[in-house]
Structure 1
Amino acid sequence: MKSFINNKEVFGESFLLESAKAENLYFSYAKDLPVIDYHNHLEPDVIAKNKNFRSPAAIWLDGDHYKWRAMRNFGVQEKFISGNATDEEKFNKWAEVVPYTLRNPLFHWTHLELKNPFGITEYLSGKNSEAVYSKMNDALKSDNFRPQQLLQHFGVEILCTTDDPSDNLEFHQDIKTSDFKTSVFPAFRPDVYITFTDEEAYRKNVQKLENASGIAIQSASDLLEALYIRINYFHDNGARISDHGFEFFPDTTKWNSTLDHEFREFLAGNRKTFSDPEALSGYLLKELCKMYAAKGWVQQFHVGATRNNNSKMLHRIGINAGYDAIGELYFAQRMSVMFDELNAEDKLAKSIIYTLNPTLNEVLATMAGNFNEEGIKGKVQFGAAWWFLDQLDGMEKQMNTVSNLGLISTFIGMLTDSRSFLSFSRHEYFRRLVCNIFGSEMEKGLLPNDEEWVGKIIQDICYYNTKNYFGF
């Protein structure tokens, strides 16, 4: 395999491209396409304010639970991960771990991000960490490495952040009225209002929604009205996407008048608990999906995770700290019931299903194929490999599943799902892999020896399908 030039310089121009066909496809058709990152967790205030990052640790390590998990796996003290060590100390500890990440995707991602945009073409280790830190730190002080400039550098045409319905979207508005060329749209993520395990936290969230919507929320119907007001507000501010994350897909058939009355009592403070949060979640979700369809939005469903497994560290650090895992709950039948009911009423929006559990790839890919519609290419998508799976093996399995059970030619491609401004190298990673898959099969005679034909399919997967699907 010719992905490595030598033992001194990291991945060369042919990285992941194992044939001449793959190289031709990548450099002639995929490499220079714009990026549409339709799902990420970048902070809009950071983009709008466009200030220099304080250090390499700030842009590279803060909140990066991939790196945090690897460091914990290596036995690094928590103070160098999420604790109070200095930025340089944390960076040096990460650098010491990097040589031992061989065959983990972090080894690839780390060096791709050092190479682009920093121009650092040597393998990182404890031996050169101080020099690498210094070079990155100097670069981050320049205007070219501020958030907006980095997005332009990576060719990002459009990105969609992930936002609470109560957000006033002021930073999206600031970006829109600025001269920044990348379009930054909000995405509607109402999970904290429709799912809960902590009653006190839920009531506080409802209060936030009341303040944002101007609606006194005293019932489930009030809650839906408040969310509808916010959907309209998001739509007026450019939103065309919603997003939901579930450990399990809720039952959408359980809601009844008794539960409705109990929920009213719960909201009024007459009950400390509510007996069936899942029934509430299923009811609200189905009604929200109807609202999305009426607006012409795309709805996303992230399923198959089990979160916050380490209760000790949850109390110490909080959520999104690297203690989540692949879940094993089965939920396809419930999803089928909801999709079918919505589809029967012509109220099923374009939908993307992501799973964190690869054993459900075929299940959910075939589920997606049940609800397509004339005039729309790939209306229901089996989405890109997500989270623990957005590495070479996981991405290839996901694309093989789409190829075998659907049409890879209608696939809407890659997204970062990241909080990092350096993670856009994953689009390059994905594009190289796609070109290698198609190029290898062309070499074997499994696909036509026609680069223009195959190259057009690759361009669609990497850019045009996404642009057309969302209507950007």
Structure 2
Amino acid sequence: MPASTDRDPARLLPVDPTVRAIASDLYARVADRPIISPHGHVPPSLLLDDEAYADPVALLMTGDHYVTRLLHAAGVDLADLVVDQSAGRDARAVWRTLAERWHLFAGTASGYWIEEELDGVFGITTPLGHDSADEIFDDIATALARPEFRPRALFRRFGIEFLATTDDPLDDLAEHAALAASDLTGRVVPTFRPDRYLDPDVLAFATNVERLLAATGRPADFAGYLDALQDRRAHFIAHGAVSTDHGVEEMLTLDLDPVAAESLFRDVLSGVADAAQRRAFRAHMLVQMARMSVEDGLVMTIHPGVRRNHSSATLARFGPDTGHDIPVATEFTRGIRPLLEKYGLERDFHLVLFAVDETTYSRELAPLAGFYPSVYLGAPWWFLDAPDAIARHRAAVTETAGFYRSSGFIDDTRAFLSIPARHDTSRRVDAGFLARLVVEGRVRLDAAERIIDDLVDAIPRKVFKL
């Protein structure tokens, strides 16, 4: 398919010509640097099996909630976005559903990323739409049949040096072991994600804990439960893990004495705990996770402030992680104080705090990271990993915390093909932000050059102990 236009090489950079010139030079320094991706959701099986993508839908739509949720908002049934031959929905039909509504994605981060992927990976710059849907589908499908478009080949082409997945504590991590023993360039490691074993409000919590105790041979008391979690953390560390990941709705921590914690554990495990007790247990377990990170060195990341499964009807029909998790207002300073009172001054403890509530950036997160040696600012993520939101984040936190209390970019994606597009977005926005500071006389050019280099390399290496 012939290209209709070329992508602007200065896209996302400031429009002022003086600032743009500096930003272009800064961006050029890092445009082709290797990708360090310390938090994401690409399954390790993708790279281990190295099977060709079935079709453009599997590549660009399946599992990408940024895409499916906006189509759903426009009246498309989520079922119509799933390839199902028995229902008469082949991949081409699903692709046409996206193409015919492509105008809905104008100005969105997901629209920008997909256009970046079509151009950067396949050389397709013809606008997606009703008239071009089939031709673009065929071009992608033809490319996917070639060996250079298999996942491992793309992994090398993207320049991914480090990739973290997100994994259940009871995963045997056999796929990671096989990847580590393979000839894959770059490092793929698991991330310890224990939410379903820490939150009494999770469906089948008691069963999950029983499975954890059985797998580790630990007794069914609180001490045994903690030992079981530590056993599994050690298993993850042995397979290369560098961090733990915790998703909570409320940023609340609580330090209980052992007797109170044991009583609370028995109540939540037996199902008699009330809402206040379950809340207290979640809060205490974050402190326990911090204690374990102090002891075993795993970086602790927390991303609070999301109401999971907001649509009960959608949850019933399609299950969790189907695009209806919605951000809520979040408070950090008071809620995290018990944890920081205990471990905040531990210099080998790394705690990365993410937020979906932008109002916390300058009021709470930057001051916390600007004082506690353990606290780092997580990159804008999820709904805020878009160009303008990344720029707002830099503007809100830099004057208080600087650049070196940040985590480096986090792509947080299930969509493998979007990884380079997302990292490139961050690099362009940071180059523009730094260029403005240079022109305003707030940062020297040589300092800006060092900062842009460190943002994509030294900073994430330090924060995630790579």
What TM-score, normalized to structure 2?
0.91
Aligned equivalent of 1:167, options 145, 166, 171: 171
Counterpart mapping for 1:113-128 below 5 A: 113-128=117-132
Q: Deviations over 1:359-404 (max 9, x none)?
A: 11121221222312xxxxxx42111001001111211111112211
Aligned equivalent of 1:455, options 446, 449, 457: 449
Matched position secondary structure for 2:118: helix
Q: 1:55 to 1:273 in 2, by over 3 A?
A: farther
Q: Which amino acid aligns with 1:168?
A: D
CA offset at residue 77 of structure 1? Answer: 3.1
In structure 2, list runs of 5 or more residues that go unmatched.
15-19
Matched position secondary structure for 2:122: coil
CA offset at residue 211 of structure 1? Answer: 3.9
- Alpha-carbon distance in 2 for matches of 1:348, 1:446: 32
Q: 1:332 to 1:75 in 2, by over 3 A?
A: same
- Alpha-carbon distance in 2 for matches of 1:441, 1:265: 55
Aligned equivalent of 1:212, options 200, 210, 215: 215
- Alpha-carbon distance in 2 for matches of 1:266, 1:457: 47
RMSD after superposition? 2.0
Residue number in structure 1 paired with 2:272: 273
Q: Deviations over 1:218-242 (max 9, x none)?
A: 1222111100111111111111111
> Is residue 315 of structure 2 the alignment partner of residue 314 of structure 1?
yes
Moved more, 404-413 or 357-366: 404-413
- Alpha-carbon distance in 2 for matches of 1:279, 1:187: 25
Residue number in structure 2 paired with 1:3: none
Please tell me whether the aligned partners of residues 213 and 224 of structure 2 are also in contact (alpha carbons under 8 angstroms): no
Q: 1:453 to 1:258 in 2, by over 3 A?
A: closer
Q: 1:441 to 1:287 in 2, by over 3 A?
A: closer
Please tell me whether the aligned partners of residues 176 and 184 of structure 1 are also in contact (alpha carbons under 8 angstroms): yes
Aligned equivalent of 1:190, options 194, 204, 208: 194
> Is residue 432 of structure 2 the alignment partner of residue 436 of structure 1?
yes
Please tell me whether the aligned partners of residues 352 and 407 of structure 2 are also in contact (alpha carbons under 8 angstroms): no
Please tell me whether the aligned partners of residues 9 and 123 of structure 1 are also in contact (alpha carbons under 8 angstroms): no
Residue number in structure 1 paired with 2:9: 13
Q: Deviations over 1:169-192 (max 9, x none)?
A: 000000000011110011111111
Matched position secondary structure for 1:408: coil
Residue number in structure 2 paired with 1:420: 415
Q: Deviations over 1:132-168 (max 9, x none)?
A: 1111111111111112211111110001111111110
> Is residue 406 of structure 2 the alignment partner of residue 411 of structure 1?
yes
Counterpart mapping for 1:192-271 below 5 A: 192-198=196-202, 201-216=204-219, 218-253=220-255, 257=259, 260-261=262-263, 263-264=265-266, 267=269, 271=270
Identity %: 27
Q: Deviations over 1:15-40 (max 9, x none)?
A: 1223111111111x111111100000
Q: 1:208 to 1:147 in 2, by over 3 A?
A: farther
Counterpart mapping for 1:393-408 below 5 A: 393-408=388-403
Moved more, 400-409 or 50-59: 400-409
- Alpha-carbon distance in 1 for matches of 2:261, 2:424: 49
Q: Which amino acid aligns with 1:463?
A: D
Please tell me whether the aligned partners of residues 264 and 281 of structure 2 are also in contact (alpha carbons under 8 angstroms): no
Aligned equivalent of 2:97, options 88, 93, 117: 93
Matched position secondary structure for 1:221: helix
- Alpha-carbon distance in 2 for matches of 1:343, 1:109: 37
- Alpha-carbon distance in 2 for matches of 1:418, 1:401: 24
> Is residue 334 of structure 2 the alignment partner of residue 333 of structure 1?
yes
Please tell me whether the aligned partners of residues 242 and 298 of structure 1 are also in contact (alpha carbons under 8 angstroms): yes
CA offset at residue 274 of structure 1? Answer: 2.5
Please tell me whether the aligned partners of residues 367 and 400 of structure 2 are also in contact (alpha carbons under 8 angstroms): yes
- Alpha-carbon distance in 2 for matches of 1:86, 1:354: 39
Q: 1:48 to 1:211 in 2, by over 3 A?
A: farther
Residue number in structure 1 paired with 2:17: none
Please tell me whether the aligned partners of residues 368 and 380 of structure 1 are also in contact (alpha carbons under 8 angstroms): yes
Counterpart mapping for 1:265-414 below 5 A: 267=269, 271-275=270-274, 276-343=277-344, 346=346, 349-362=349-362, 363-372=364-373, 379-414=374-409
Please tell me whether the aligned partners of residues 305 and 357 of structure 1 are also in contact (alpha carbons under 8 angstroms): no
CA offset at residue 337 of structure 1? Answer: 2.2
Please tell me whether the aligned partners of residues 224 and 288 of structure 1 are also in contact (alpha carbons under 8 angstroms): no
Residue number in structure 2 paired with 1:108: 112
Residue number in structure 2 paired with 1:63: 63
Moved more, 307-316 or 333-342: 333-342
Q: Which amino acid aligns with 1:208?
A: R
Please tell me whether the aligned partners of residues 392 and 433 of structure 1 are also in contact (alpha carbons under 8 angstroms): yes
Matched position secondary structure for 2:273: coil
What TM-score, normalized to structure 1?
0.90
CA offset at residue 311 of structure 1? Answer: 0.5
- Alpha-carbon distance in 2 for matches of 1:39, 1:25: 25
